[in-house]
Amino acid sequence: AYVNPLGIAMGQCTYCGFCERFGCANYSKSSAQTTVLPVLMKKSNFEVRTDSEVLHVDLAPGGKSARGVTYVDTSGEEYFQPADLVLLCAYGLHNARLMMLSGIGKIYDPGSGEGTVGRNYCYQTNAGVQVFFDDKNFNPFIAAGALGQTIDDYNGDAFDHGALDFVGGAGINCIPTNGRPIGTRPTLPGTPKWGSAWKKATVEGYKSTLGYSSQGSSYATRNNYLDLDPTYKDRFGRPLMRMTFDFPDNDIRMSNYVCDRMEEIAKALGGKQYAVSRRKKGWDSVPYQSTHNTGGAIMGTDPKKSAVNTFLQSWDVPNVFVIGASAFPQNAGKNPTGTVGALAFRAADAIRNQYLRNPGAPLVQA
């Protein structure tokens, strides 16, 4: 077993197949709840309040500093928690919503282009290929979530864009895990969607189908943004967050270019048949595609164009820091997790070594 720098023993991976999108009972994954939280729980100045949800950040008169948060637990009772320093770490989408509900920063208006909270919402431009074989066995039910291969030759600026009509790119990823019951049912194009023929096809295709996908960049546009819904509310009476999004033409052209490369790979693999799933305009929230939501409280050097500075400190309320992929001005063709971690470390370092020496002061002068 591996012991991490904080002294927590991590278990060896058993390649169970239930990895990505699942917790790990084996303590093999480097998720914060298994690698950091157990150490924090032992500290006298740390407390976890489970089954609780912050409703909003409470601001002092004038709205230039936070004095704590109001939260609710499963009893339905509201509590006020005083705080000299507030960190929003509630995932990118909810970070932006909490800022809007709390009156921290100006909500972005796509018509005028003014406002910073909710702007630059980006996603991930994905596409995929399935190659069907008769004589292969890929054992999709057993693997680790990080096991796989990536072709990065068409990601970012790794290739010549001179004669192309787009910017950005995508990685081509072959991740063998994800072959869990019910969720994985690869079938040949033209297979009926129900009945005995479908059942037979799922049995035949389960072990002998190779899937790979492209994970592409998503660039901000004026008309992709987050705001508060004028009609729908949550159970507490707060406006729901409203997402306005579709894939920009640039990103569709990029994805089609990378899809052409994936189709070339499919032909070279020599399977009996292949199917290409291209990204099209008209984003649909029903089928799961990605949890790489970014933007909404982006970092920058200009308070008129960004919600937080490069230390993730709010320009408008300096004792509030907003941690997460909400800070991304754009979204690259990569998983955001590593960058989120790096930004969190950078913010923590700045809070400890700069902010706490002069609490309430901005770390960057506008």
Structure tokens at 41: 């729980």
Helix (H) or strand (E) holding 262: helix 249-269
From the CB of residue 59, how many other CB atoms can be counted at a distance below 10 Å?
19
259 burial level (CB within 10 Å; 0-12, 13-18, 19+) = buried
From the CB of residue 326, how many other CB atoms can be counted at a distance below 10 Å?
34
Q: Left (φ > 0), alpha (ψ -120 to 50) or beta: where does 163 sit?
A: alpha
292 part of the active site:
yes
- Name the 3-class secondary structure at 351: helix
Four-CA torsion 137, 276, 330, 152, nearest 10 degrees = 50
Q: What are phi and psi of 267, to 5 degrees?
A: -65, -40
Among residues 56, 94, 161, 292, which one is catalytic? 292
Torsion sign across C-alpha atoms 171, 176, 180, 186: positive
CA 155/CA 284 separation, integer angstroms: 24
CA 87/CA 68 separation, integer angstroms: 10
Task: Give catalytic residues, as residue numbers.
Answer: 292
